[in-house]
């Protein structure tokens, strides 16, 4: 492990008091017209852990992320960050309190370089926090950490999707989150890149972050997650360790070990 990989990306956020998770999704429901996308979902993500959120296509995973980050309003329920009800805060206020995410459908500054994407986030953070670290230095450290140093000067729209996802990850990390939400981060990565991503997410959690990951690569999820929540038709049908979830008959019926193509990418 290099010196850079030891930088503490989430270090300035003290862990919440014992027993208080970094993230609590409490009884959240979301309705879009006639579609009940999420029903009474309860999810926790803990400091120092990688938490998985898995489920078939259309189960409500991205909608749940949108509610957590304030892009969608739930029909009922609330979101707590380190014990505080943040349900009424807008997305940017949640970001300043230590929430960062990546998107299933990439949201990058395509005409900027890889380095400029990460630097922009580091500059924003300097503007809203008391962190006086040099944004250029922060960006360079993070590019090394996510494995993008060799393409730092490439424009992002010229990169393959998998690498562009890593740019989003680097940009999210530049805000030094306490809670990191990743929506299908391994989509578009090859197996070597996926392994490196898995190691990085485990390291980030160990450094003092709560990582919540939506991912269709079940092998990856089973390898890196401390706990997993399974969504099916908007309902949490199982919560537990990878082994517990894998052996849960409800999960097997709904998702794992069936003909449902869990490794398939979303449209």
* Binding interface with Mg ion (CB under 5 A): 61-62, 104
In this structure, is the dihedral angle defined by the CA atoms of residues 86, 230, 9 and 115, taken in order, positive or negative?
Answer: negative
**CA 48 – CA 46 distance, rounded (Å):** 6
> Which residue matches tokens 């349900």?
87
| 252 half-sphere exposure, CB direction, 13 A CA radius | 7
Strand partners, 1: none
The one-character DSSP state at 106 is -
Nearer to ligand ATP, 9 or 45 (CB): 45
Strands 35-45 and 179-183, bridge-based pairing: unpaired
Q: How far is the CB of 251 from ligand ATP (least distance, A)?
A: 15
The CB-of-125 to Mg ion minimum distance in angstroms stands at 27
- Cβ-count burial of 252 within 10 angstroms (0-12 exposed, 13-18 middle, 19+ buried)? middle
Residue 32: contacted member of ligand ATP, Mg ion, none (CB under 5 to 8 Å, by partner type): ligand ATP
CB of 186 to ligand ATP, least distance (A): 13
Q: Enumerate residues 6+ apart whose C-beta is below 8 A from 136.
A: 119, 122
Between CA 177 and CA 145 the distance in angstroms is 15
Residue closer to Mg ion (CB basis): 38 or 179: 38
Residue 104 vs 246, nearer CB to Mg ion: 104
The piece of 7-15, 53-61, 107-115, 166-174 that touches ligand ATP (CB under 6 A) is 53-61
Among 39, 63, 69, 194, binds ligand ATP (CB under 6 A): 63
Question: Does the footprint of ligand ATP cover residue 254 (CB under 6 A)?
Answer: no
Residue that the structure tokens 């609330």 belong to: 78
Q: Counting contacts by CB under 6 A, is residue 32 touching ligand ATP?
A: yes
Stretch that binds ligand ATP, among 43-51, 54-62, 200-208, 240-248 (CB under 6 A): 54-62
Q: Does 188 bind ligand ATP (CB under 6 A)?
A: no
From 32-40, 131-139, 142-150, 202-210, span contacting ligand ATP (CB under 6 A):
32-40
Question: Using CA atoms, how far apart are residues 87 and 79, in angstroms rounded to an integer?
Answer: 5
62 binds ligand ATP, rule: CB under 6 A: yes
Q: Binding of ligand ATP at residue 101 (CB under 6 A)?
A: no
DSSP state of 12: T
Q: Work out how close the CB of 15 gets to ligand ATP at its nearest, in angstroms, rounded to a whole number.
A: 29
- Phi/psi for 128 (5° steps) reads -105, -5
Which residues of the shown chain bind ligand ATP in the complex (CB under 6 A)?
32, 35, 37, 55, 57-63, 104, 266
């Amino acid at each position: 492990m290099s010196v850079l990989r030891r930088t503490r990306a989430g270090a300035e956020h003290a862990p919440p008091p014992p027993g208080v998770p970094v993230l609590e999704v409490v009884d959240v429901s979301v309705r879009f017209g006639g579609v009940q996308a999420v029903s009474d979902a309860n999810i926790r993500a803990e400091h120092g852990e990688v938490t998985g959120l898995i489920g078939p296509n259309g189960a409500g995973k991205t909608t749940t992320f949108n509610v957590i980050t304030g892009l969608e309003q739930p029909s009922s329920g609330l979101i707590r960050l380190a014990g505080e009800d943040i349900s009424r805060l807008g997305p940017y206020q949640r970001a300043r309190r230590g929430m960062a995410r990546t998107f299933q459908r990439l949201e990058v500054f395509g005409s900027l370089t890889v380095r400029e994407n990460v630097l922009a986030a580091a500059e924003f953070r300097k503007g809203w926090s008391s962190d006086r670290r040099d944004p250029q230095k922060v960006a360079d450290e993070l590019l090394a950490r996510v494995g993008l140093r060799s393409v730092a000067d490439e424009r992002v729209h010229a990169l393959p999707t998998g690498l562009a996802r890593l740019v989003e990850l680097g940009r999210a990390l530049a805000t030094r989150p306490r809670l990191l939400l990743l929506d299908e981060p391994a989509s578009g990565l090859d197996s070597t890149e996926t392994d490196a991503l898995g190691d990085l997410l485990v390291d980030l959690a160990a450094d003092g972050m709560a990582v919540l990951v939506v991912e269709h690569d079940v092998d990856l999820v089973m390898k890196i997650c401390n706990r997993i929540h399974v969504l099916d038709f908007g309902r949490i049908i199982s919560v537990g360790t990878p082994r517990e979830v894998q052996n849960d008959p409800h999960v097997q019926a709904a998702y794992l070990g069936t003909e449902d193509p869990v490794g398939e990418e979303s449209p």
